[in-house]
């Protein structure tokens, strides 16, 4: 399984535009054209000191709109100066602020925790400078996307627009996926937290962290003791893992519920169907459309990964040849948007409506007024216990008689892993049939587009108090190959409320709803079939839920005395959003 390597690449290496080659630029070579202030300090309301760089056109004292980047990534190769210069070349002042504790800031480094208030203070400082005309726009991806939404927690009047790409959402997306802690942010914390710049030695030490992970898996000690295996204390990991619920610790970092009602500035977001953290970026758009529907929030999304989204797409993604029309110029669109909002310019042509998406397999862009209106119907399919060749049937009719399929998972057995859900490659000739269950539909009678995020309800009973599940959706193409469309992993005890854990009752049929799946758009061929892969999540790439009901990160292999016994009931169903011709 390649999930760990891909997650590590996602969060440990470059955080945006990795396809672009880093160039070293000497600051002195630019000073003839640009006014560069690379050692600016801003004092926050609570007494911290932030390190900034400001770049303006030399000799031009006219107040201008300011383009702000807020980041934890400190580049010493000239890359940050290049990005600031680009803002100036487009007629703006370029400013970058580094997270508390980074570059010349003397404070401690705690990713995510202070960015909301700190970014507000920086915008306030910018708005009072003589070179600012009172308008600030923000852009950037990943962590930089998170800081933009954090800045909207309490909106400063000078912030006029944000342009987040693949924005992170701490607590639900990373380092947690639907209340399951996943591994990649463990080494990422050393990468960004070990020094004032970036610890590339620790961040790129794959061998070290793979060894740690493998030893944890083999020995079965508590997940929260990963750093004892590594031999280096990880204070950031310990802070995160002590908050398994989406509690006030996470809620204060970004807008939450009614916070979105006060966001009235235009937003342009970018995301990808195969961005691992897609649920984070789309969470913000969905909540904004829910609580502030009048806010002009736009989304551009297509068949991109985390880095590809930020570079305008990639022609080949996880061995899948992307439609040519999907590739776009993200830098041009970003500055067209800034001109549109901050200079009364023309709206980017690609923005036909609020949601603009590329239909895989159709080589075309479409649009919709909201995520919810991307589809005009659902295929409701039940996961039956009836055999269909080597799989089980997935039918549109609800079974007349309740039955179930049985599964037993021995958490003490480390020779077998469950839930091979990661989409690499996107198209594969075979899928995992060694454990879990696969349910296949009848062939489609007509071509249709799957458009949106699938959802459903799993009806199950277990002999324990909790379990983690995985649900993966494939298109089985007429040639018999499997096209990975979307997936979900999540903890059953948080399925109805991510802020509060509700344990399951042993040997009782429970309803486990799920909806936070990856959004996708693809034209399905006539004759294709849909397939759902259902399994218990058990592998070395995330914490292991033994089902005792205790805090999962504290459970050990000693809690695996009795295997997990699951009955998957045949009135479980999925709802697949479709756009009929």
pLDDT tens track for 185-197: 899 999 999 999 9
Structure token pair of residue 90: 């487009």
Burial 186-210 (b: 16+ CB within 10 A, else e): bbbbbbbbbebebbeebbebeebbb
344 shares its domain with 395: no
List the CATH number of the domain containing 520.
Answer: 2.60.120.260
Nearest partner of 473 among 483, 486, 482, 464, judged by Cα: 486
Q: First-to-last CA distance in the chain?
A: 37
Euclidean distance between CA atoms 392 and 552, whole angstroms: 32
pLDDT at 26: 55
pLDDT at 29: 61
Q: Mean pLDDT across the stretch 549-577?
A: 98
pLDDT digits 0-9 by tens, 78-116: 899 999 999 999 999 999 999 999 999 999 999 999 999
Can you spell out the DSSP letters for 465-510?
Answer: S--EEEEEEEEE-TTS-EEEEEEEEEEGGGSS-TTS--PPPTTS-E
Domain's final residue, options 368, 390, 423: 368
Residue 279 contacts residue 172 (beta carbons within 8 Å): yes
DSSP classification of residue 299: E
Euclidean distance between CA atoms 349 and 404, whole angstroms: 52
360 shares its domain with 388: no
Q: In the predicted model, what is the mean pLDDT of the chain?
A: 94
| DSSP E strand boundaries for 303-376 | 316-317, 320-321, 355-359, 364-368
383 shares its domain with 511: yes
pLDDT interval class at 310 (50, 70, 90): very high
Nearest partner of 190 among 140, 145, 238, 122, judged by Cα: 238
Q: Is the pLDDT of residue 6 over 50?
A: no
Structure token pair of residue 233: 């204390």
Euclidean distance between CA atoms 85 and 71, whole angstroms: 17
Domain's final residue, options 313, 337, 368: 368
Q: Is the pLDDT of residue 11 over 50?
A: no
Residue 448: exposure state from Cβ atoms within 10 A (0-12, 13-18, ≥19): buried
List the CATH number of the domain containing 251.
Answer: 3.40.50.1820
Q: How many domains does the chain have?
A: 2
pLDDT digits 0-9 by tens, 473-487: 999 999 999 999 999
Residue 538 contacts residue 418 (beta carbons within 8 Å): yes
pLDDT digits 0-9 by tens, 275-298: 999 999 999 999 999 999 999 999
273 shares its domain with 387: no
> Percent of the chain scored above 70 by pLDDT?
95
pLDDT digits 0-9 by tens, 318-337: 999 999 999 999 999 999 99
pLDDT digits 0-9 by tens, 154-187: 999 999 999 999 999 999 988 999 999 999 889 9
pLDDT digits 0-9 by tens, 367-403: 999 999 999 999 999 999 999 999 999 999 999 999 9
361 shares its domain with 391: no
pLDDT interval class at 30 (50, 70, 90): confident
202 shares its domain with 227: yes
338 shares its domain with 449: no
Domain's final residue, options 310, 338, 368: 368
Pseudo-torsion of CA 243, 248, 249, 251, nearest 10°?
A: 110
Residue 313: alpha-carbon gap to chain centroid:
16
Q: Is the pLDDT of residue 12 over 60?
A: no
Euclidean distance between CA atoms 425 and 439, whole angstroms: 20
Q: Mean pLDDT across the stretch 240-249?
A: 98
Structure token pair of residue 464: 């324990």
Nearest partner of 491 among 243, 283, 180, judged by Cα: 180
Q: Is the pLDDT of residue 28 over 70?
A: no
pLDDT digits 0-9 by tens, 493-538: 999 999 999 999 999 999 999 999 999 999 999 999 999 999 999 9
> Residue 135 is part of which domain span?
3-368
347 shares its domain with 384: no
334 shares its domain with 385: no
529 shares its domain with 553: yes
432 shares its domain with 561: yes
387 shares its domain with 360: no
């Amino acid at each position: 399984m390649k999930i760990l390597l891909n997650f590590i690449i996602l969060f440990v290496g470059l955080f945006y535009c990795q396809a672009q080659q880093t160039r070293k630029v000497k600051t002195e070579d630019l000073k003839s054209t640009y006014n560069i202030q690379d050692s600016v300090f801003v004092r926050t309301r609570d007494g911290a000191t932030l390190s900034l760089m400001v770049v303006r056109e030399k000799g031009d004292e006219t107040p201008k709109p300011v383009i702000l980047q807020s980041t934890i990534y400190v580049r010493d190769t000239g890359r940050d100066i290049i990005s600031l210069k680009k803002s100036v070349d487009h007629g703006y002042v370029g400013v970058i602020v580094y997270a508390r504790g980074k570059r010349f800031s003397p404070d401690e480094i705690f990713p995510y925790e202070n960015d909301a208030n700190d970014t507000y203070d920086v915008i306030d400082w910018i708005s009072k400078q003589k070179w600012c005309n009172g308008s600030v726009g923000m852009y950037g991806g990943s962590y930089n996307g998170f800081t933009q939404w954090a800045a909207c927690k309490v909106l400063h009047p000078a912030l006029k627009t944000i342009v987040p790409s693949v924005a992170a959402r701490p607590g639900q997306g990373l380092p947690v996926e639907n209340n399951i802690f996943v591994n990649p942010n463990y080494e990422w914390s050393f990468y960004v937290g070990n020094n004032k710049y970036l610890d590339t030695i620790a961040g790129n030490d794959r061998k070290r962290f793979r060894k740690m992970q493998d030893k944890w898996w083999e020995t079965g000690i508590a997940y929260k003791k990963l750093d004892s295996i590594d031999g280096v204390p990880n204070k950031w990991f310990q802070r995160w893992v002590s908050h398994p619920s989406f509690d006030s610790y996470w809620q204060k970092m970004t807008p939450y519920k009614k916070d979105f009602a006060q966001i009235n500035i235009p937003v342009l977001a970018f995301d990808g169907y195969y961005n691992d953290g897609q649920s984070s970026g789309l969470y913000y758009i969905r909540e904004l459309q829910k609580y502030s529907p009048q806010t002009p929030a736009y989304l551009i999304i297509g068949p991109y990964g985390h880095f590809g989204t930020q570079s305008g797409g990639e022609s080949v993604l996880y061995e899948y040849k992307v439609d040519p029309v999907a590739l776009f110029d993200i830098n041009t669109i970003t500055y067209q948007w800034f001109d549109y909002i901050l200079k009364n310019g023309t709206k980017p042509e690609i923005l036909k409506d609020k949601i603009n998406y590329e239909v895989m397999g159709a080589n075309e862009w479409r649009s919709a007024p909201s995520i919810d209106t991307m589809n005009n119907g659902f295929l409701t399919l039940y996961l039956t216990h009836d055999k269909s060749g080597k799989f089980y049937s997935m039918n549109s009719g609800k079974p007349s008689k309740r039955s179930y399929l049985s599964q037993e998972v021995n958490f003490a057995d480390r020779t077998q892993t469950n839930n091979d859900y990661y989409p690499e490659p996107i198209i594969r000739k075979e899928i995992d049939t060694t454990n879990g269950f696969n349910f296949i539909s009848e062939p489609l009678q007509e071509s249709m587009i799957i458009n949106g995020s699938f959802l459903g309800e799993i009806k199950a009973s277990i002999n324990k108090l909790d379990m983690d599940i995985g649900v993966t959706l494939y298109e089985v193409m007429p040639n018999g190959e499997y096209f990975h469309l979307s997936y979900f992993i999540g903890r059953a005890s948080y399925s109805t409320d991510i802020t509060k854990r509700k344990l399951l009752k042993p040997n009782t049929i429970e309803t486990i709803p799920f909806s936070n799946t990856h959004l996708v758009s693809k034209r399905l061929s006539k004759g294709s079939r849909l397939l759902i892969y259902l399994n218990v999540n058990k592998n070395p790439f995330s914490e292991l839920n033994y089902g005792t009901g205790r805090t999962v990160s504290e459970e050990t292999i000693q809690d695996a005395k009795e295997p997990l016994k699951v009955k998957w009931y045949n009135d479980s169903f999925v709802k697949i959003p479709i756009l009929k011709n």
